[in-house]
């Protein structure tokens, strides 16, 4: 309907039970705004986990999560967003995308900028909620931490090589273990695949003066995932996230740098499963019910019942 266009670009059979679909979808009147996404896992799941990449990332940076989680019965979608120049425009486009995919509510995993956009979308839809839960990986709640709000509106003028240099300045340097080195190499390759307008718009979203209004999303279950070694986030930015979400679960990784989902995928995938466990046996489960044991469901029901009971005065 309307301006919606969908193109099924390719299909992969990851395993006999898992089909990975790659779509390109336009949901705006502007035909240049193309969402690219991988959709894998049981199509019967109506509340999947959606991954939002960082400034330098594309949809396929989450390939290790897509392969592992779908193998365990989850439905996951990894996105690459089109060129949007402000947060409101992004949120409106993302809402249209969910409408097109016929997804009423979703779980969001956002890395860095992706995490900030996930929070802004939860805030944007708080009167008619579309976000069931959030996993925020190396993310932030206030763009002023980058001290570039005054230059945000000039990124569109800069050539691609200068924009890439700005992004690369936040990548780890020095001796690294092989997995982290491979992860950085992969992200550099993904960065090279992005055009000038894609990079400029993402840096604009990353640095444009904005912050999350916590009172609008305080009822959403949140897991904050971060690392103890070198990353682009300052200690102050991490502390601010803990203050913003005092009831959030915390998933700490000793190492992992900026891209733990690539170089520490087993730990990240485990934390994702722990986060999603609270929704097993409910309409917001992201997993095929047949993949969950009866014992596990019983434990979950008891846990939910206990959490719903009023506290004694």
Q: What is the mean pLDDT of each run of 10 residues along the chain (313 residues)?
A: 49 58 88 92 95 94 94 95 95 96 96 96 96 96 79 86 88 81 92 94 92 91 91 84 94 91 95 95 92 65 47 43
Looking at residue 258, what DSSP letter applies? T
Alpha helices by DSSP H, listed for the chain, are: 63-71, 87-100, 113-124, 160-168, 178-192, 196-207, 235-244, 260-263, 265-277, 294-308
Q: Return the pLDDT at 307.
A: 42
Q: Return the pLDDT at 290.
A: 86
Q: Return the pLDDT at 310.
A: 43
- Domain 11-303 in CATH 1.20.1630.10? The answer is no
d(CA 217, CA 308): 19
Q: What dihedral do alpha carbons 273, 266, 236, 224 form, nearest 10°?
A: 0
Domain ranges of the chain: 11-303
Q: Return the pLDDT at 7.
A: 55
Instruction: Give pTM, 2 decimals.
Output: 0.88
Q: Return the pLDDT at 246.
A: 93
Name beta bridge partners: 111.
137
Q: Return the pLDDT at 295.
A: 57
Q: Return the pLDDT at 13.
A: 52
Residue 313's Cβ-count burial label (10 Å; 0-12, 13-18, 19+) is exposed
Q: Return the pLDDT at 301.
A: 53
3 state DSSP class of 69: helix
Nearest alpha-carbon partner for 107 in 76, 62, 83:
76
């Amino acid at each position: 309907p309307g301006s919606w266009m969908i193109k099924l670009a390719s299909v992969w059979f990851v395993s006999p039970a898992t089909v990975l679909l790659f779509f390109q979808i336009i949901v705006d009147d502007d035909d240049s705004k193309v969402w690219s996404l991988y959709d894998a896992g049981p199509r019967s799941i109506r509340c999947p986990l959606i991954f939002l990449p960082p400034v330098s990332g594309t949809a396929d940076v989450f390939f290790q999560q897509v392969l592992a989680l779908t193998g365990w019965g989850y439905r996951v979608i990894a996105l690459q967003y089109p060129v949007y120049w402000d947060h409101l425009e992004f949120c409106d486009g993302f809402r249209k995308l969910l409408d097109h995919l016929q997804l009423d509510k979703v779980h969001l995993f956002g890395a860095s900028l992706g995490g900030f956009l996930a929070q802004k979308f939860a805030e944007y839809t708080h009167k008619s909620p579309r976000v069931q839960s959030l996993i925020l990986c190396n993310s932030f709640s206030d763009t002023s931490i980058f001290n570039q709000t005054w230059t945000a509106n000039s990124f569109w003028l800069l050539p691609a090589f200068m924009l890439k240099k700005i992004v690369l300045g936040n990548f780890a340097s020095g001796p690294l273990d092989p997995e982290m080195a491979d992860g950085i190499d992969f992200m550099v390759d993904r960065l090279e695949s992005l055009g000038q307008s894609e990079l400029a718009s993402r840096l604009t979203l990353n640095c444009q003066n904005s912050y999350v209004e916590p009172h609008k999303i305080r009822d959403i279950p949140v897991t904050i995932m971060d690392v103890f070694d070198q990353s682009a986030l300052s200690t102050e930015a991490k502390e601010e996230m803990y203050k913003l979400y005092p009831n959030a679960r915390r998933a700490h990784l000793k190492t992992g740098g900026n891209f733990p989902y690539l170089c520490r995928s087993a730990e990240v995938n485990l934390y994702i499963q722990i986060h999603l466990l609270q929704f097993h046996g409910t309409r917001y489960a992201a997993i095929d019910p047949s993949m969950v044991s009866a014992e596990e469901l019983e434990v979950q029901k008891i846990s939910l019942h206990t959490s719903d009971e009023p506290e004694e005065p």
